[in-house]
Chain A
């Protein structure tokens, strides 16, 4: 056989395919867990549905389009609104588009599966607005994504294309974990704290619930219980999610997967250097101190570093930006390319 060569454009699309799938899965997890969290909190707590929009970094878009922040508006916006570039349906549409344009490199079954996932969501997204069928819909989307991950691992040669899939997945995953940590420790807890009188903090019974749900959103609750013997508490949870080397969705684990895949690609120096920088930052973080002060800033910085990894990957292997622009013009405003660049800014900076 000849040496297999991979086009930069194909690498780019397949990387985005993987990111969009991971993003859809993460959003589904998040919505599912968030719904269940809100049902556990006392009525009248000021933690509202808007927080969910903030996690995905699309609050500006949302606030422009909606006056109210009720459950229906938020869920519609995040689930089925195709004007929202990071809604689950939009992500799946982009994933499908990227898959459709790389059909020659991914297994045929994978394309069928992605196509089915998109068609299923398109048909059923409307039903997910109400609470009853929502859980089932989101579980189904998560299951489809998980099947797909397994299918790719089992049916695709672990070649360059597969490395780009893993890069996209782990980068998106690391980013999402930082967001979820952010929400637990920075958005939810202080809001609750602020509502109780100083003498009688409302937080006590609910802190546990919040951290349990944070773990659940990353399928990490069970693993946490096996790993940490102490009761669920903020310090251990944040440490676990940032620094546990074995948890597949911890930031440090995702970064080490990135390092592993980057080693196999040519011209990887800058990207690897950037990953090392982020690894260093996460592994040396003093979580107890950060929880007292500075976690918000730390997470912001970490997200910037993760964004930089994407930047180095794009510089090393994707088509030069100039030709990207030409390509957009030539395909009369190629929707995928536009949304891609928009997503880079909204999701990572």
Chain B
């Protein structure tokens, strides 16, 4: 499995390591040379030591299937992905700008709705939004911020520029894998850390803790913060537990909490203890059976009451998902101009809205060239990959779009960039994306890099771990590499 860069061919995609055949990019030069110097045995050894580390560290995720829930080891490729500091600085500013604008939008929507009155965003979009929560109208969370934690998916097109694919504002996951990937890489390639100046990412849990402490409704030195999980069969349970452990806070399930006199308490061995901030990893509709799904046992009866009274902080705030909608997404550049008076630093992927008749016609006429996405699904479910779909699949999908145009948007097939992945024969290019995590409380924080997700199947664009995707450690390095 020796790596020979001469036989590595990314075709006409943007490759993160190799710019022209056999010629590595400046920041990746040391990495490329180092990898090529390793013998087949040595590469194999590194690969199996990574697998062993993942197994013993118990880094896993859960897959839903008909045969029951399976706890799987986290799929990881040992070759790190490298991004230059200069490029990252700009990207990072763009991400922060975007989240600030999105939070202005959410706050506006639940309060004055100026953006609708000014017709920058069509009001009918809101009327049909499944993530709009009327219960939240008039609410003013701390710092007027609703989405405190955001995971934004970025891709690079052929030109090497970053584009925003979507913003995850409900309960974005993946940050624990970003952190664990770095730990595994340190075990596997300690030599490389001598030659690169890599921005550390370990700060995230303390940044998250500080943000959560800052939104506490009670002015205490030590607010009681908890992570609320749906339980061990949730696909991201590992992450919930990991973050609680890293922050040194309690990991709770719905049954551990109780609401009395509109305040939230947890059941401890010393009796009830008041809770100030809940980092909830449960979807809105399961949060509180009194307010939403009546038969949900995952949530806490009365939680919404407590939140609306201002006695507990919820991150992310209920209703924040109103901006996590692939149709609303197309208006983010307009929001940035409207609320911040700034030019967007990070572009969207060009998109077509099916709610607009002209654009709908274009979408239906060009289904074989487009990717069509439903407004509110996540994890890559429910979408049509036009170029790969059969005639029959496209015809069926066209009917779905016509039945509910508000629910769909389309984008040209973006050529996701590639990065080398270790396979049996050596290194081969695979498509990747990037999910950085952005925090907003009193201040903003952007992770240096993020979680790089990899479509492990040759030619595939599907990077979701629930559908066979893998991941890579992501390095932000100073330019010149050293």
Contact A6 B268 (CB under 8 A): yes
The residues of B that contact A323 with a CB separation of less than 8 Å are 255
CA–CA, A243 and B260, complex, Å: 49
A100 within 8 A of B: yes
Contact B256 A8 (CB under 8 A): yes
A2 within 8 A of B: yes
CA–CA, A100 and B233, complex, Å: 12
Partner of B232, one of A5, A7, A11, A101: A101
Residue-wise, chain B 219-262 has the 8 Å CB interface mask toward A (1 for contact) of 00110100000011100000001101100011111111000000
Contact A7 B250 (CB under 8 A): yes
Q: Which residue of B lies closest to A99 (CB)?
A: B58
- Chain A contact residue count (CB 8 A cutoff): 36
The residues of B that contact A326 with a CB separation of less than 8 Å are 255, 297
The residues of A that contact B252 with a CB separation of less than 8 Å are 7, 9
A111 within 8 A of B: yes
Q: Which residue of B lies closest to A160 (CB)?
A: B269
Residue-wise, chain A 228-272 has the 8 Å CB interface mask toward B (1 for contact) of 000000000000000000000000000000000000011100000
- Chain B contact residue count (CB 8 A cutoff): 31
Contact A112 B58 (CB under 8 A): yes
Chain A contacts with B in 272-317, Cβ cutoff 8 A? 316-317
Residue-wise, chain A 139-174 has the 8 Å CB interface mask toward B (1 for contact) of 000000000000000000000100000000000000
Contact A112 B56 (CB under 8 A): yes
Residue-wise, chain A 309-335 has the 8 Å CB interface mask toward B (1 for contact) of 000000011010001001101111010
Tell me, rounded to whole Å, the shortest Cβ–Cβ distance linking A202 to chain B: 51
A103 within 8 A of B: yes
The residues of A that contact B270 with a CB separation of less than 8 Å are 5-6, 266-267
B273 within 8 A of A: yes
Contact B250 A5 (CB under 8 A): yes
CA–CA, A68 and B432, complex, Å: 57
Known contacts A2-B222, A100-B232; is A265 also within 8 Å of B255 by CB?
Answer: no
The residues of A that contact B221 with a CB separation of less than 8 Å are 2
Known contacts A266-B269, A317-B269; is A9 also within 8 Å of B255 by CB?
Answer: yes
Contact B232 A9 (CB under 8 A): no
Partner of A5, one of B231, B251, B273: B273
The residues of B that contact A316 with a CB separation of less than 8 Å are 269
Most chain A beta carbons < 10 A, residue from B252, B255, B266? B255
A115 within 8 A of B: yes
A1 within 8 A of B: yes
B298 within 8 A of A: yes
Q: What are 14 A-B pairs with beta-carbon distances under 8 A?
A: A2-B222, A5-B224, A7-B269, A8-B256, A8-B268, A100-B232, A101-B241, A104-B241, A104-B245, A111-B58, A115-B55, A266-B269, A329-B297, A330-B255
